[in-house]
């Protein structure tokens, strides 16, 4: 087994090995493993101390930010308040200053009293209680040894925990399923107690000892759970249900939330009352000694247990499930089910049809698949991110991401940006508020982000200040943040700070220039101080003002004046800039405008434009720009004729074209420039080539930009790279991201050039049923199918 | 029409959190950022997954 050791983040500490109930479905006492008979009843002080020591040592060695310790049994309250206090003190003391400690206890509730709860409140121990539903359901298994019902006592404990002073400790209710119980009655009884969380457990079973199926149905447990799901959903999902939330999470590309589902590696270890270190204790249902490792806290570190083959097997993700599971479309959600439920006795030979050991599907396989597909069919429409089908929502999500990145940069700096950052940050807030107030008063007329469709001639400067007169100024900050290369700068800044790059602060402190551009675009009478370097001050989306020679650095003040702005630097005369007029000291960002083509910004100035993986042009001369514009306009007209819908969509979403000094596809070149990409709206387009060459290059770039934009704000797939599939355009199989990307591009290109149609269709066929696809990814696939069918 | 004057954008803008109040510790924000930035371990949500307890 390979791969790095996965540290333990969750410790199940058995503080008492006996129980005051005699539930007949208990895996500790009623199943294959009988090791409880030889364990000490209560954990010793020595085992407590060593556990705390080992855990602190482990957390420190792996720099774990937090660890969870679950006090468990038997029945953990039987350990008594004094012993539990010693456990809490030892763990809290050992972890102090090392890692955050999340302490929990799981109990049957019978002994719960204010004495315990006051102790738990003191140490922040949160409490979960087992309850199997209404009285009839709970009484089916959860009885005293003499057969008496435990239901009234459990309800009393739940009531105690619901008191105002203890309510913050309440974790919720854990219910083991019995399909003989009425699912609605069970759910209603649990929900009536208003718990903060519920979970339903499949009763432990193996292929040797399969679960009861009273009506013979292979999906009896799924049917039972889906009935509960419908009840929960119809009631407005009043509390999280862990099992359902886990499926919903994985359907959307998120993590599983329980070890019983999903492919996440196990990070759990059990400490028994005698200090023995064991694997997850549900294994006790498989066979006697199944959970044993031979290690203990007195002589062994947690790292030694983490390296145990039995633990490592459950950390292999996809490679750790059976071949049948690896081919199953729902494996990302079910993960092959709980490890224990895969067990079958007998020789573990590959030749056997059903080998012994754990290399099998779950004994609940049919249930798990039916449950996952059932939840998906009920919820998929609501789970698909709006951005997948709605361009407006995609642009909103992209903008929201850039704003979040700016907030992240502010947090990452944590004061290190000094006055220069703080001043700019506060100004940005002022610009935002001013725009918000104006927006409340009247509709905003924005001059900036998206290309104008007004027919114009020539390569013109972008307009920056046409609408600067207040009232009615535009939201300059939104326009500057929507600029695609602002994203490139933000990600580079955060990455630089995290990597402690020497240029990190200087990189982040480009921010005042962005604010200055926002102020100018918003027409606000606010002076902005900003640094410049190498003699140049680049105002994103507007242009570059020359304030000195190469190597000269300094500070300038930028202020709106009339129909332009004034730049004052200590070493030079004030410069009056009209954004649309090029001068010896001002190079505006030009607008690429020709009849029939949108007025995209021709950005060959932004210092962060070098983010396409291939070299960008250092700056086009007037004639070069005019020539490129002519050829692009001709290419655009070709696209408009052959793929009018895609062309109109691109015109409405793109803002910026940057010339590339290559004619080949990016993959053919060494990675170049910023690796972080850019916000939605920019295309890198080859400088060379006629309209017939540029048109497909533009379309290819448009398709790639849109898919990339989608993946930046939605989860279309998860576990990319776990599988490789054949791609019709190359010999080597590819991961799903590459297959989807190739299909997305070819479906678009096929409408322009039918030669791409066959590869597009074959790729779409291969994508069908791919386990990596989320509900969003599947929705996109359906849209692609429809697009491909339209031709 | 620019995307900033679209109805979708106008609605989102009206309801959005001011820049200075965006809480980057929030799990939802961390999830968004995590798609384009590697997120430190202490910023990724972790749940207790033990089957036999909450």
Per residue in A118-133, pLDDT tens? 999 999 999 999 999 9
- Reported as a single tens digit per residue, the pLDDT across A511-548 is 999 999 999 999 999 999 999 999 999 999 999 999 99
> Which H helix or E strand runs over A761?
helix A757-767
Instruction: Evaluate whether A517 touches A510 at the Cβ level (below 8 Å).
Output: no
| Residue A671: per-residue pLDDT | 52
State the pairing for strand pair A554-561/A564-569. antiparallel
Place of tokens 């940005």: A428
Q: Which two tokens stand for residue A610?
A: 């070098």
Interface of B with A in 15-54 (CB under 8 A): 16, 18-20, 22, 24, 29, 32-33, 35-37, 40-42, 46-54
Output phi, psi for A57, to 5 deg: -60, -40
A715 vs B contacts (CB less than 8 Å) = 35
Residue A91's Cβ-side half-sphere holds a number of Cα atoms within 13 Å equal to: 28
B53 vs A contacts (CB less than 8 Å) = 12, 70, 72, 104, 106, 128, 174
- Reported as a single tens digit per residue, the pLDDT across A305-337 is 999 888 888 888 999 999 999 999 999 999 999
| Residue A286: per-residue pLDDT | 81
B39 vs A contacts (CB less than 8 Å) = none
Query: Given an 8 Å threshold on Cβ–Cβ distance, is A396 in contact with B1?
Result: no
Query: Mean pLDDT lowest for which of A338-342, A628-632, A776-780, B39-43?
Result: B39-43
- Reported as a single tens digit per residue, the pLDDT across A27-84 is 766 666 777 778 889 999 999 999 999 999 999 999 999 999 999 999 999 999 999 9
A68 vs B contacts (CB less than 8 Å) = 48
pLDDT at residue A552 is higher than 60: yes
| Residue A526: per-residue pLDDT | 94
Preceding omega of A471 cis (within 30 degrees of 0): yes
Output phi, psi for A649, to 5 deg: -60, -45
Query: Given an 8 Å threshold on Cβ–Cβ distance, is B4 in contact with A479?
Result: yes
Query: Given an 8 Å threshold on Cβ–Cβ distance, is B54 in contact with A128?
Result: yes
| Residue A673: per-residue pLDDT | 64
pLDDT at residue A23 is higher than 90: no
| Residue A524: per-residue pLDDT | 93
- Reported as a single tens digit per residue, the pLDDT across B13-46 is 888 899 999 999 998 999 999 999 988 776 766 7
pLDDT at residue A459 is higher than 60: no
DSSP letter string over A28-90? TTSSS--GGGGS-SB--HHHHHHHHHHHHHHHHHTT-SEEEEEEESS-GGGG-HHHHHHHHHH
Q: Which two tokens stand for residue A377?
A: 């069919």
- Reported as a single tens digit per residue, the pLDDT across A602-631 is 999 999 999 998 899 999 999 999 999 999
- Which neighbouring-strand residues pair with A143? A149
Chain B residue with minimal CA distance to A102?
B48
Instruction: Evaluate whether A607 touches A538 at the Cβ level (below 8 Å).
Output: yes
CB atoms within 10 A of CB A269: 27
How many Å apart are CA A228 and CA A633, to the nearest integer?
A: 59
User: What is the pTM for the complete model shown?
Assistant: 0.90
Query: Given an 8 Å threshold on Cβ–Cβ distance, is B52 in contact with A282?
Result: yes
CA A538 to chain centre: 34
B30 vs A contacts (CB less than 8 Å) = none
Average pLDDT, chain A: 90
Instruction: Compute CA distances A477 → A221, A519, A620, A739, whole Å.
Output: 54, 7, 28, 37
| Residue A461: per-residue pLDDT | 53
Contacts by A530-535 with C-beta closer than 8 Å and gap 24+?
A530/A424, A530/A555, A530/A556, A530/A557, A530/A558, A531/A420, A531/A555, A531/A556, A532/A556, A532/A569, A533/A506
| Contact B2/A at CB under 8 A | yes
Query: Given an 8 Å threshold on Cβ–Cβ distance, is A395 in contact with B10?
Result: no
Query: Mean pLDDT lowest for which of A100-104, A150-154, A279-283, A559-563?
Result: A279-283
| Residue B3: per-residue pLDDT | 57
Query: Averaged over A368-376, what is the pLDDT?
Result: 98
């Amino acid at each position: 087994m390979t791969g790095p050791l996965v540290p333990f983040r969750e410790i199940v500490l058995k503080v008492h090995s006996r129980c005051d109930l005699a539930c007949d479905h208990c895996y500790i006492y009623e199943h294959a493993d009988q090791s409880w008979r030889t364990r000490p009843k209560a954990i010793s002080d020595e085992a407590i101390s060593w556990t705390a020591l080992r855990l602190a040592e482990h957390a420190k060695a792996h720099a774990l930010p937090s660890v969870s310790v679950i006090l468990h049994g038997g029945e953990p309250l039987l350990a008594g308040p004094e012993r539990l206090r010693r456990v809490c003190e030892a763990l809290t003391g050992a972890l102090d200053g090392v890692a955050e400690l999340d302490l929990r206890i799981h109990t049957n509730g019978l002994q719960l009293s204010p004495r315990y709860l006051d102790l738990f409140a003191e140490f922040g121990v949160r409490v979960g209680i087992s309850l199997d539903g209404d009285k009839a359901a709970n009484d089916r298994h959860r009885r005293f040894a003499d057969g008496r019902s435990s239901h009234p006592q459990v309800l009393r404990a739940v009531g105690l925990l619901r008191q105002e002073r203890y309510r913050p400790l309440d974790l919720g209710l854990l219910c083991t399923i019995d399909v003989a119980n009425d699912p609605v009655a069970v759910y209603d009884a649990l929900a009536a107690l208003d718990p903060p969380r519920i979970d339903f457990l499949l009763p432990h079973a193996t292929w040797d000892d399969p679960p009861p199926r009273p009506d013979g149905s292979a999906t009896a447990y799924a049917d039972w759970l889906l009935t509960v799901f419908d009840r929960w959903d119809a009631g407005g999902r009043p509390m999280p249900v862990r099992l359902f939330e886990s499926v919903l999470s994985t359907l959307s590309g998120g993590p599983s939330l329980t070890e019983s589902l999903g492919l996440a590696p196990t990070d759990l270890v059990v400490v028994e009352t005698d200090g023995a270190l064991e694997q997850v204790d549900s294994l006790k249902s498989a066979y006697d000694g199944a959970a044993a490792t031979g290690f203990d806290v007195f002589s062994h570190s947690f790292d030694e247990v983490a390296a145990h083959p039995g633990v490592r097997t459950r950390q292999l993700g996809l490679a750790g499930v059976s071949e049948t599971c690896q081919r199953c479309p729902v494996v990302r959600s079910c993960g092959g089910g709980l490890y224990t439920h895969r067990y079958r006795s007998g020789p573990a030979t590959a030749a056997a049809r059903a080998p012994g050991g754990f290399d099998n599907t779950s004994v609940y396989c049919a249930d798990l698949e039916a449950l996952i597909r059932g939840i998906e069919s009920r919820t998929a429409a609501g789970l698909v991110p709006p951005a997948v089908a709605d361009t407006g929502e995609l642009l909103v999500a992209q903008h929201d991401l850039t704003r979040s990145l700016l907030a992240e940069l502010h947090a990452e700096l944590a004061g290190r940006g000094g006055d220069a950052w703080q001043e700019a940050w506060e100004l940005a807030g002022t610009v935002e508020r001013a725009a918000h107030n104006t927006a409340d008063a009247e509709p905003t007329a924005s001059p900036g982000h998206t290309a104008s469709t007004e027919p114009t001639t020539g390569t013109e400067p972008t307009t920056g200040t046409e609408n600067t007169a207040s009232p009615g100024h535009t939201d300059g900050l939104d326009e500057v943040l929507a600029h695609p290369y602002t994203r490139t700068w933000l990600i580079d800044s955060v990455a630089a700070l995290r990597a402690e790059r020497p240029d990190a602060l200087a990189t982040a402190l480009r921010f005042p220039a962005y604010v200055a551009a926002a102020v100018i675009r918003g027409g606000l009478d606010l002076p902005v101080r900003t640094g410049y370097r190498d003699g140049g001050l680049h105002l994103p989306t507007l242009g570059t003002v020359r304030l000195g020679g190469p190597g000269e650095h300094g500070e300038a003040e930028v202020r709106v004046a009339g129909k332009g702005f004034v730049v004052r630097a200590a070493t030079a005369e004030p410069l009056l800039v009209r954004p649309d007029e090029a001068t010896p000291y001002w190079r505006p960002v030009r607008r690429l405008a020709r009849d029939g083509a949108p007025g995209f910004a021709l950005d060959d100035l932004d210092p962060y434009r070098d983010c396409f993986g291939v070299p960008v042009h250092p700056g086009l001369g007037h004639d070069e720009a005019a020539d490129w514009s002519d050829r692009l306009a001709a290419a655009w007209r070709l696209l408009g004729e052959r793929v009018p819908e895609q062309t109109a969509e691109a015109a409405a979403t793109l803002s910026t074209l940057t010339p590339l000094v290559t004619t080949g596809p990016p993959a053919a070149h060494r990675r170049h420039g910023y690796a972080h990409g850019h916000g939605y709206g920019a295309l890198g387009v080859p400088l060379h080539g006629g309209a017939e060459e540029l048109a497909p290059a533009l379309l290819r770039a448009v398709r790639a930009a849109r898919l990339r934009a989608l993946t930046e704000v939605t989860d279309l797939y998860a576990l990319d790279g776990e599988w490789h599939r054949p791609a019709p355009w190359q010999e080597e199989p590819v991961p799903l991201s590459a297959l989807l990307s190739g299909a997305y591009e070819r479906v678009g290109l096929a409408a322009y050039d039918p030669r791409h149609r066959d590869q597009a269709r074959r790729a779409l066929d291969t994508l069908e049923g791919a386990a990596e696809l989320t509900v969003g990814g599947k929705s996109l696939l359906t849209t692609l199918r429809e697009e491909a069918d339209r031709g | 029409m620019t995307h900033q004057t679209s109805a979708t954008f106008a609605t989102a803008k009206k309801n959005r959190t001011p820049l200075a109040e965006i809480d980057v510790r929030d799990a939802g924000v961390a999830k968004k950022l995590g798609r384009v930035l590697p997120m430190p371990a202490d910023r990724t949500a972790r749940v207790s997954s033990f089957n036999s307890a909450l």
